[in-house]
Amino acid sequence: MSRDGDIGGFRTDPKPADDLETGAGLTPILDAIDIPVALIGGDCKIAGFNRPAADLFCLTASDVGQAPSRISGGVPDLEQVCAAAIADGTESRREIRNGDHWLLIRIVPYHGPDRQSGAVLSFSFQEAADISDRSHAELNANLLAAIVESSDDAIVSKNLDGIIMSWNRGAARLFGYTAAEAIGQSIALIIPPDRLEEEPKILERLKRGERVEHFETIRITKDGSRLNISLTISPVRDAHGRIVGASKVARDVTPRVRQQEALQAANAALERANADLQYFAYSASHDLQEPLRAVGVYAELLQRRFGNQLGPSGDEFIGHILEGARRLESLLRDLRLYMQVSTTDQSPTEEIDAGEVLAKTLLNLEVTIRESEASIESGPLPRVRMHEFQLEQLFQNLIGNAIRYRSELPPRIQIGATRTDEGWLFSVADNGIGIEPQFQEQIFGVFNRLHTGTETSGTGMGLAICKRILELLKGRIWVESELGKGATFYFTVPDGASALESSRCQGRIRFGQCP
């Protein structure tokens, strides 16, 4: 290689042949090389150079034995680099930029006869733009390699014969095999015998250029443990676009799968328990009716025939028996209703008129309304998508409670409905005794009552039934109240309703009589 003038700041004036000294032991082979080459001896000093190197760096015989920096274009640590390369037997490289050119120095160690060692330095020029592109590509490659190596997931590559070509630290942690143990082995190394048929199918898809995403399967570790694995597999192409292998990312999803299995088992056990409970409650509410009825009938017979003979205490005891029988009968009836509401899994398909349902409810409560002198007012009510018996139970329990827990004044009850983002918001407001804040959540529990049977009647199931109905409808119920200032119960019915329609029973309603 011969250069005239300056290139990148380096002298390239040719020297006469008779001025060139190549150093002791330099063979004619060195002169046959057409790129600048220099020999570095075991003492890390210049041992020789060829004509292109002499031309490039203006070298003469006096430069033999000098430090390598003499021919490096100013790389200060070249002597140390050469020493390390000779000692470790590893190739190294240095790059020097000057203007629009780079001088590339490649250091290749060698070991000659009689344990002689040294290094060969070769030099070449390249455009800065080419070096920049190559450096950027190398940076990306190094970054990708670092990401792959530090990933918690197992990242493995294989060829189209299923032979493992690379194996990162994540794969070593997950499967227990080191890279030395895995590379060169068949990928069947980690596939259970009962899953071996998966590999040919995956390879066929890869050969067609397809990508396999989130394929969940089983793989085995070095100690024989079975893992639930999610695989994402992509085809690998060469510089010509030909598919030559595959890259595989394996993620351990065993904890998630175990959690799902445990949750499914728990749900199945809960469903069985609920079914058993529902069967027991339904059976008990029916089977206990007959003996309970007999207790009530015979208690009444005792009261009629022997009441006067048993004295005041006897009459009192018989009264307790009758009251207990009636209360237990109410409890069983409400329990049966609660189970009926809870097991209604058929979604309503048609809308019902809330005004018509309210009118029917008021007729059912006519006697209670008349005896309590209750006054009930309702504004326009909408059509809603729910079962008629569900809305009837809501109205009946809320209005019944408003009458039952009344103050000294006659009950005044106001019913309304407004449109909200949640759907329809119903309200049932009264002027009763009110509820203290600490009890406003408690009252919606099963069998929860704030007053004893001697104060007010009831089983404590009514509001629990309301809450259960609305839970099934994805709605909710709550109360706002102050002690002694009445209460307002609110409940929401989600969308599925048409525009607000006038109720048949709007305006003032007294004693359940609907115009």
Share of the chain above pLDDT 70, in %: 71
- On whether both 77 and 189 belong to a single domain, the answer is no
Region 314-321: mean pLDDT is 81
What pLDDT band is residue 440 in, cutting at 50, 70 and 90? confident
Buried residues in 14-32 as b, exposed as e (16+ CB within 10 A): beeeeebbbbeebeeebbe
101-153 confidence digits (pLDDT tens): 677 888 888 776 556 788 888 887 765 555 555 555 555 555 555 555 557 78
The reply to whether 449 and 397 lie within a common domain is yes
Q: Would the pLDDT of 494 be above 90?
A: no
Residues with Cβ within 8 Å of 196's Cβ and at least 6 positions away in sequence, in order, are: 188
CA distance 349 to 358: 20
Burial of residue 241 (CB within 10 Å: 0-12, 13-18, 19+) is: exposed
| Six-digit token string for 269 | 């056990």
Give the pLDDT confidence score for residue 429 in this predicted structure: 94
Q: Return the pLDDT at 346.
A: 61
- Classify residue 476 by its DSSP letter: -
Q: What pLDDT, in 10s, does the model give residues 179-211?
A: 899 999 999 999 999 999 998 888 888 888 888
The domain boundary residue, chosen from 307, 341, 375: 341
Task: List 126's β-bridge partners, or say none.
Answer: 102
Comparison of pLDDT for 345 and 65, the residue scoring more:
65
Under the banding of pLDDT at 50, 70 and 90, the label for residue 20 is very low
- Interval 326-341: pLDDT, tens: 767 766 666 666 666 6
* Phi and psi at residue 57, to the nearest 5°: -110, 5
**Average pLDDT taken over every residue of the chain:** 77
Domain count, the chain: 4
pLDDT, residue 385, reads 87
Q: Which two tokens stand for residue 175?
A: 């499967």
What CA–CA distances, in Å, run from 114 to 21, 117, 187?
25, 9, 46
Where do the DSSP E strands lie in 112-169? 117-127, 154-159, 164-167
Task: Mention every residue, 6+ apart, whose C-beta is less than 8 A from residue 354.
Answer: 381, 382, 383, 384, 391, 417, 426, 503
The answer to whether residues 363 and 503 belong to one domain is: yes
Q: Do residue 378 and residue 465 come from a single domain?
A: yes
Q: Per-residue pLDDT for 215 more than 50?
A: yes
Res 134: pLDDT: 55
- Residue 406: CB atoms within 10 A of its CB come to 21
The answer on 360 and 469 residing in a single domain is yes
Evaluate whether residue 51 is within a structural domain. Answer: yes
Same domain, 219 and 299: no
> In the sheet where 117-127 sits, what is the strand order?
46-49, 37-40, 117-127, 101-111, 92-98
Q: Does residue 458 sit in the same domain as residue 377? A: yes
- pLDDT tens-digit profile of 383-392? 998 888 889 8
Same domain, 270 and 245: no
What pLDDT digit, counting tens, does each position of 418-430 carry? 998 888 999 999 9
**Which amino acid would we find at residue 90?**
T
**133 inside domain:** no
Edge-to-edge, what's the strand order for the sheet holding 375-378?
477-481, 487-493, 423-429, 412-420, 375-378, 507-510
What CATH number did the domain enclosing 244 receive? Answer: 3.30.450.20
pLDDT tens string 220-229? 999 999 999 9
Of 405, 424, 397, residue with least CA distance to 491: 424
Q: Look at residues 284, 310, 341 and tell me which one is the last residue of a structural domain.
A: 341
Task: Mark whether 114 and 221 lie in a shared domain.
Answer: no
pLDDT in tens, 460-481: 677 888 888 888 888 999 999 8
CA–CA separation, 53 and 36 (whole Å): 4
320 and 224 in a common domain:
no
Sequence letter at residue 496: G
Q: Is the pLDDT of residue 156 over 70?
A: yes
Task: List, in order, residues 6 or more apart from 97 with CB less than 8 Å away.
Answer: 128, 131
What is the domain range of residue 336? 258-341
